[in-house]
Amino acid sequence: MRFNSHACNLEGQEVELTMHDGTVRDVCFIEDTSNKTSLLVSGGAGDCKIYVTDCATGKTFQALSGHSGHVLSLYNWGGAMFVSGSQDKTVRFWDLRTGGCVNIISPPSGQPSKGSAVASLAVDPSGRLLVCGHDDGTCALHDVRGSRALQRFTPHSSDVRSVRFSPGAYYLLTAGYDGRVVLTDLQGDLTCALPSVPVARHPDKVISARWHPDDFSFLSTSADKTAVLWTIPPV
């Protein structure tokens, strides 16, 4: 549905998109500044394809293939690039200008047991650092420009369903099916052990956690049917 940001209301008729043949697991919006249009990128189960749709017309004009498992997570950090995480244990970087995959992060060769489904992911605002949340409770940090793994750590005891960098990328907020939201300090050597502390807890699975755009606070949503706004005391 079209949203008028000035009047803060919805306009016109809703548009139903039916290109997926399985559960839609994640979506993200991309602003196409060259054509002055908004694009919707969506992925999920079924045919494991990622679809790109023009928000103004509701027409899907790209179907991106490559993942061999369900697409679980999508993230865009500005521009025409976005990343996808999948049940096939890989992360793929896509460039809408070329309409294809430009890089793949896979489990260590010869060690498939070290990999697990990529349940969530995010890229810091500079585009230099990628974090992946996995369904085994681990998080992995990757140097995007250097194309190298920095480290893997375990902030949760089960699926990490949400990972987000703070606006300045000084901290990482993760949420998992263990009912916890964890804050990890990224100010230091990212190849060394990182200090992490639980900052919130729900009685059921935490589905997502999102930073406030200005304040040092965050919102979490849970299978306990609540959405809670938390504030972090000054350190």
What average pLDDT does range 69-86 have in this prediction?
Answer: 95
Question: How confident is the model at residue 110, as a pLDDT?
Answer: 52
> Across the strands, what pairs with 104?
92
What is the residue type of 56? Answer: A
Domain extent for 144: 2-168
- 219 falls within a domain: no
Least-confidence region, from 25-29, 67-71, 104-108, 152-156:
104-108
Q: Give me the CATH number covering residue 31.
A: 2.130.10.10
How far is residue 154's CA from residue 140's CA, in Å, rounded to a whole number? 9
pLDDT tens across 3-36, in order?
888 999 998 888 899 999 999 999 999 987 777 7
- 83 falls within a domain: yes
What average pLDDT does range 49-72 have in this prediction?
Answer: 95
- 224 falls within a domain: no
Question: In the predicted model, is pLDDT for residue 53 greater than 70?
Answer: yes
pLDDT tens across 166-216, in order?
988 999 999 999 999 999 999 999 999 999 999 999 999 999 999 998 889
pLDDT tens across 102-151, in order?
999 998 765 555 679 999 999 998 999 999 999 999 999 999 998 899 99
- 222 falls within a domain: no
Overall domain count for the chain: 1
Question: How confident is the model at residue 59, as a pLDDT?
Answer: 94
Question: In the predicted model, is pLDDT for residue 235 greater than 60?
Answer: no
- 228 falls within a domain: no
- 62 falls within a domain: yes
- 205 falls within a domain: no
Q: Where are the beta strands (DSSP E) in 57-143?
A: 60-64, 71-76, 81-86, 91-95, 100-105, 118-123, 129-134, 139-143
Q: Which residues, including other chains, have CB under 8 Å from residue 25's CB and lie 6 or more apart?
A: 43, 44, 45, 70, 71, 72, 73
- 13 falls within a domain: yes
Q: What is the pTM of this model?
A: 0.91
